[in-house]
């Protein structure tokens, strides 16, 4: 593959508290704001507390999930008195960090999240943008004491619904397991290190370094599985099976247990071999997702370097 | 060691199992819902049947999957709150605590249920704990020993809060005997199968003990290691914003009940600095990094451990 060039990446946004109870991002952004971090070398940095109202009450959101409000449709929807807070806030963020899809948008947006699932350090991105993939490869090689993986959402930009879709080249950093509302030092240290490595990579990129070609594996979500539910009340009637619990990214085969009902029955996986992700994520109970299932794909990366004028 | 002391105690005809006192502590919520589906008030084969009342303590908070709606229900059971003046603007949980007091109490009276088992989860790595206000309630101590024997693969501890009956504030204080069954770690809003199963086993063995006791079984004396709460430690906080400025140190995180010595790491600031325990006495930490305690100003609690010798008990 020929080497691919990109313009310098000089403006980045680091966002936390997109979900107000995912504490690592909240505290990392607050810490950067306290120390007035706005430029590191060639990179100017905006730090944004995405959903301040949700952060204040330590809830995921106040009216609706902010991280589903960034589709083209919602960003251009008319604001009325009954528009939920988060839809308005998404439009504010779009004006500040976007507009989505335009030349004025920040070069890179990194959105910090936590999960109750045992996902280690996971970078989440749309499509096969070489820049985040090269950063992923870089972080994977630097951070050896924690599992580092990538998850890809195969969605066109117009339908892309999350905050990171505002930036030109963006990704979310998702780290778990951490309970909502709790701040763990080990998880904080992991996220801080990943952010530091990302900024270091950007410095190197902007100074003219070439990042070699290679291959990375990433997980592409193909479907989601809900909990078994009571047909009358809609309440879940089983929990994630102990053999699946905490085994994100471990291949799930037909016949493997996935749920253990509250009365002791085992439900088994039927269908193809796939990789489970976001196993027992707290916020997904209401979205009717017990876990996602993904295929593992290999992405070939060209070498990349900064485009010189 | 020979225990010569013998105690004869009245039987326990009425037991309450309560879940969802905090609406996002899901093992208890789902266990109570399952038990309500198969509710058996009286088991006919027994000579001395036990009436088991199964209660979803805070239905509104449970429906919203929040700890509470207006105020923490599990702090609303002091005599003062239960018997204070009522008003139309009372917080939901105070109204509810009075309803529960009517249902399971009145607290301190002869009509109160004999035993309250209140189900809780914690984000702290505490295994299974029974939490009571007394270190000499032989019913609770013997239930604890029974659970230890029947569920040997789960770390189990007995925690004592030295609070007088007058000041006792939690739901389990409504019964003649009572304890909270606290199991972690489990994130709030999540049900983990292993934690649910442990709680289900704990409740089942507790009820089995009550039936055995009621039918005349003698339970030998022995000992229980009791952790008595001494003090809490808050997070370091910003003097202006009151936001925390450090997290529980990685060497302390998940090490509930591992003895904490003076100068051991306690917190790690966001810039990586270690803050150390400055107390003079080694103590046992628990409720380390419990989510709900950030707002109560508690990063961890500290306890002294002492061995309590048990009486042989039987039903009189």
CATH code at position B247:
2.20.25.160
Residue B96 lies in a domain: yes
Please name which of B183, B268, B187, B279 lies closest in space to residue B231, comparing C-alpha atoms: B279
Residues of chain B contacting residue A189, judged by C-beta atoms under 8 Å apart: 250, 268
Residue B220 lies in a domain: yes
Whether B33 and B78 share a structural domain: yes
Residues of chain A contacting residue B253, judged by C-beta atoms under 8 Å apart: 184-186
User: Residue A135: its pLDDT value, please?
Assistant: 97
Q: What is the distance in angstroms between the Cα of B193 and the nearest Cα belonging to chain A?
A: 5
User: Residue B3: its pLDDT value, please?
Assistant: 52
User: Residue B39: its pLDDT value, please?
Assistant: 67
Whether B119 and B172 share a structural domain: yes
Residue B293 lies in a domain: yes
Whether B105 and B238 share a structural domain: no
Reply yes or no on whether the pLDDT at B122 is more than 60.
yes
CA B191 – CA B186 distance, rounded (Å): 7
For B68, the 3-state DSSP assignment is: coil
A22 labeled binding residue:
yes
A residues 166-185 lying closer than 8 A (beta carbon) to B: 177, 179-185
Q: How confident is the model at residue B1 (pLDDT cuts 50, 70, 90)?
A: very low
Residue B45 lies in a domain: yes
Q: Name the catalytic one among A174, A193, A217, A286.
A: A174
Whether B167 and B66 share a structural domain: yes
Whether B145 and B120 share a structural domain: yes
Residue pair B129/B202 in contact by the 8 Å Cβ criterion: no
* CATH number assigned to the domain comprising residue B111: 3.40.630.10
Residue B1 lies in a domain: no
Q: How confident is the model at residue B42 (pLDDT cuts 50, 70, 90)?
A: very low
Reply yes or no on whether the pLDDT at B267 is more than 80.
yes
Scan for tokens 């290679």, then name that residue: A214
Structure tokens at A136: 């992923």
Residue ranges for chain A with pLDDT beneath 50: none
For A75, the 3-state DSSP assignment is: helix
User: Residue B128: its pLDDT value, please?
Assistant: 98
Whether B95 and B200 share a structural domain: yes
CA A18 – CA A26 distance, rounded (Å): 8
Residue B89 lies in a domain: yes
The verdict on whether omega for the bond into residue A99 sits within 30 degrees of 0, i.e. cis, is yes
Whether B85 and B137 share a structural domain: yes
Whether B114 and B204 share a structural domain: yes
User: Residue B38: its pLDDT value, please?
Assistant: 86
For A198, the 3-state DSSP assignment is: helix
Whether B206 and B252 share a structural domain: no
Q: What is the distance in angstroms between the Cα of A134 and the nearest Cα belonging to chain B?
A: 28
Residue pair B24/B59 in contact by the 8 Å Cβ criterion: no
Beta-sheet pairing, B6-9 with B312-315: parallel
For residue range B179-206, what is the model confidence (pLDDT) as tens digits?
Answer: 999 999 999 999 999 999 999 999 999 9
Total number of domains constituting chain B: 2
Q: In terms of DSSP H, where are the helices of chain B?
A: 26-37, 59-64, 79-83, 92-104, 138-150, 193-214
User: Residue B45: its pLDDT value, please?
Assistant: 55
Beta-sheet pairing, A291-301 with A275-277: antiparallel
Comparing A125-129, B54-58, B154-158, the range with the smallest average pLDDT is: A125-129
Whether B23 and B126 share a structural domain: yes
User: What are the structural domains, with CATH classification, of chain A?
Assistant: 4-217+299-306 (3.40.630.10)
Instruction: Give the range of the structural domain holding residue B248, as residue numbers without chain letter.
Output: 232-302
Whether B240 and B186 share a structural domain: no
For the question of residue A270 being annotated catalytic, the response is: no
Whether B205 and B246 share a structural domain: no
Residue pair A118/A176 in contact by the 8 Å Cβ criterion: yes
CB contact under 8 A, B247 and A242: no
User: Residue A154: its pLDDT value, please?
Assistant: 87
């Amino acid at each position: 593959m020929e080497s691919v060039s990109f313009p310098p990446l000089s403006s980045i946004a680091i966002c936390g508290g997109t979900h107000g109870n995912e504490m690592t991002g909240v505290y990392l952004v607050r810490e950067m704001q306290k120390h007035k971090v706005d430029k590191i070398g060639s990179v100017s940095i905006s730090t944004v507390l995405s959903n301040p109202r949700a952060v204040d009450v330590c809830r995921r959101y106040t009216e609706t999930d902010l991280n589903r409000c960034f589709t083209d449709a919602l960003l251009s929807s008319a604001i009325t008195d009954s528009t939920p807070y988060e839809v308005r806030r998404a439009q504010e963020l779009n004006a500040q960090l976007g507009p989505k899809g335009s030349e004025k948008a920040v070069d890179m947006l990194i959105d910090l999240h936590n999960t109750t699932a045992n996902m280690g350090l996971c970078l989440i991105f749309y499509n096969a943008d070489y820049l985040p993939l090269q950063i992923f490869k870089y972080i994977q090689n630097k951070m050896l004491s924690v599992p580092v993986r990538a998850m890809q959402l195969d969605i066109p930009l117009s339908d892309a619904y999350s905050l990171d879709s505002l930036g030109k080249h963006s990704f979310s950093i998702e780290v778990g397991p951490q309970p909502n509302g709790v701040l763990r030092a080990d998880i904080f240290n992991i996220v801080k290190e990943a952010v530091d490595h990302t900024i270091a990579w950007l410095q190197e990129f902007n100074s003219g370094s070439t990042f070699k070609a290679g291959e990375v594996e990433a997980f592409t979500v193909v479907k989601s599985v809900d909990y078994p539910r009571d047909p009358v009340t809609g309440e879940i009637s089983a929990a994630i099976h102990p053999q699946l619990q905490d085994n994100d990214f471990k291949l799930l085969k037909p016949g493997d247990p996935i749920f253990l009902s509250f009365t002791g029955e085992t439900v088994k996986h039927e269908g193809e071999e796939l990789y489970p992700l976001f196993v027992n994520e707290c916020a997904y109970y209401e979205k009717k997702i017990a876990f996602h299932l993904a295929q593992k794909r290999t992405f070939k990366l060209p070498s990349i370097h900064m485009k010189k004028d | 060691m020979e225990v010569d002391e013998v105690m004869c105690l009245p039987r326990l005809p009425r037991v309450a199992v309560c879940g969802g006192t905090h609406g996002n502590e899901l093992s208890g919520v789902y266990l109570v819902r399952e038990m309500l589906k198969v509710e058996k008030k009286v088991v006919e084969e027994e000579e001395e049947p036990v009436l088991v009342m199964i209660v979803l303590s805070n239905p509104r908070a449970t429906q919203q999957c929040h700890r509470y709606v207006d105020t923490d229900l599990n702090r609303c059971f002091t005599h003062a709150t239960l018997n204070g003046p009522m008003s139309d603007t009372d917080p939901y949980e105070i109204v509810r605590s009075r309803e529960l007091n009517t249902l399971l109490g009145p607290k301190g009276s002869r009509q109160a249920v004999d035993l309250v088992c209140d189900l809780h989860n914690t984000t702290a790595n505490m295994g299974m704990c029974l939490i009571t206000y007394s270190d000499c309630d032989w019913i609770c101590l013997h239930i604890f020993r029974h659970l230890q024997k029947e569920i040997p693969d789960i770390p189990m501890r007995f925690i004592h809060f030295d609070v007088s009956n007058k000041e006792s504030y939690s739901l389990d204080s409504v019964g003649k005997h009572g304890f909270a069954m606290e199991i972690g770690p489990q994130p709030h809003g999540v049900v983990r199968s292993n934690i649910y199963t442990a709680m289900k086993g704990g409740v089942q063995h507790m009820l089995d003990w009550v039936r055995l006791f009621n039918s005349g079984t003698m339970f030998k004396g022995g000992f229980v290691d009791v952790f008595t709460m001494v003090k809490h430690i808050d997070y370091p906080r910003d003097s202006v914003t009151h936001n925390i400025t450090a997290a529980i140190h990685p060497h302390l995180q998940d090490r509930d009940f591992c003895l904490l010595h003076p100068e051991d790491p306690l917190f790690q600031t966001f810039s990586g600095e270690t803050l150390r325990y400055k107390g003079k006495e080694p103590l046992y930490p628990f409720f380390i990094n419990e989510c709900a305690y950030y707002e109560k100003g508690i990063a961890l609690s500290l306890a002294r451990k002492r061995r309590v010798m048990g009486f042989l008990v039987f039903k009189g």
